[in-house]
Amino acid sequence: MLIQDENLTDRSPFLKLRRWQWWLLVAINILFLIAGQAAAVLLGRFYYDQGGNSTWMATFVQTAGFPILCIPLIFLHPSQKLETSTSSTYPSIKIVALLYFVLGLLVAGDNMLYSVGLLYLSASTYSLICATQLAFNAVFSYLLNSQKLTALILNSVVILSLSAALIAVNEDSDGPSGVSKGKYLVGFICTLGASALYSLLLSLMQLSFQKVLRKETYNVVLEMQIYTSLVATCVSIAGMFGSGEWKGLQDEMKGFKSGRVSYVLTLVWTAVSWQVCAVGVVGLIFAVSSLFSNVISTLSLAITPLAALLVFHDEMNGVKVIAMLLALCGFCSYIYQNYLDDTKARKSESQSHTDDVIQESHHV
C-alpha cells in the first residue's frame, strides 16, 4: 500500500479492505481525477475561446456542481459507512462550521486565481504551470503533515521548478489571441499562486481529518467537499453580483460563438467535470494521502497539454516539450519514492507478523 502519512494511513478503515479491493478503489478515484480535471480544463478554455469572459462565472462553475455529491452521500447506507474514530470526542458544530467556512473561502480564492490564469494562458501552458503544485505540496506536506523530504522528493521539487521556470522565461510562450505579454505574466503569476494555494488546501484537508474531525468515514469526506463547495459557491455568487459581471451574462450568452445551447452545456459540463475531479481528489486523500492525490493530479496536468494539442491545436514548441518531459520526470521521481515506501511498509508488516508468530510459539 502506498503510504505517505503513516499515522493517518495506519488508522484508515480502507485497511480492512482486501488488497485488490483497495487498489480497485484507488484506481477508480485516479480515473475520476484525471478524466474530470482534463475535461474541466479543456471546457474552461473552450468557454473563453467561444466568447465567455466572466472570471466569476468560471469560478462559480468550479464548485456549483456540489449537489451531485449528495447522491452518493444519500445512497451510502449507514451500515456501509466504514467508520473509525481516533477519539470519542467529536468537535463541536461551531468548530466544524468554522473549519468548513475557512476552507471554503480558500477554495473560492484558489478557483478565482485558476480562472484568471486560464483566461490569459493557453490550456497547455496553463497545465504545465499547474504541475508545480507537486513541488508546493512537498513543502506543505513536510510542514503540516510530517512528510519526510527524501532525496527523490527534493529532486522532483527542483525538476518541477525548472519546468515552470522554462515556461516563465520562454519568449515564444503562447497565450490566446489578443493577449499581451503583460496579461500573460498576470496569468502566469495567478496560475502559480493557485497551484501553491491548492497544495496548501490538500495538506490542510488531511490535517483536518487527523487533528480536528478525528472521524475517518467516507461520508465525512463527502460532507467536507459539499460544505466547502457551498461556501465557495456563495462567495462566487457574491463576487459576481458585487463586481457587476452578472449584468453582462445575457449578452455573453447571445454572443457565444457556438450558440446559446452550447453556452449552457459548456457551463453545466464544466461544473460536472470539476465535481468528478473533486471526488477523485478527496477519495485519494482519504485512501492514501494528500501527496499521492497531488501526484496523480500532476500526471493529469502533464497529459492535458497533449489533449489541448488535439482539441485546440495549441502550439507545442521545443521549450514546452522539454517542460512537459521535466514534469513527467518529476512525477516519476515521486512515484519511485512511493514504490520505496510501499516496499518498506510491506517488509515492516511482514516482520511484525513474523515476530507475533514467534512470540505465540514461545508461549505454547
Report CA torsion sign: 172, 178, 184, 190.
negative
Residue 357 predicted with pLDDT over 70: no
196-244: pLDDT as tens digits:
998 898 788 878 878 888 765 667 778 888 999 999 999 999 999 999 9
Report the amino acid identity of residue 352. S
**Whether this model's pTM surpasses 0.85:** no
Percent of the chain with pLDDT over 90: 30
C-alpha cell at 228: 466547502
Q: What is the rounded CA–CA span in Å between residue 132 and residue 141?
A: 14
162-181: pLDDT as tens digits:
777 776 666 555 566 667 88
Report CA torsion sign: 264, 270, 276, 278.
negative
Quickly state the pLDDT bin for 337 (edges 50, 70, 90). confident
Ranges 22-26, 183-187, 326-330, 354-358: which has the least confidence: 354-358
Residue 328 predicted with pLDDT over 90: no
Q: What is the rounded CA–CA span in Å between residue 151 and residue 31?
A: 29
pLDDT, greater one: 358 or 318: 318
Report CA torsion sign: 114, 117, 119, 125.
negative
3-class secondary structure, 85: strand
Q: What is the rounded CA–CA span in Å between residue 269 and residue 284?
A: 23
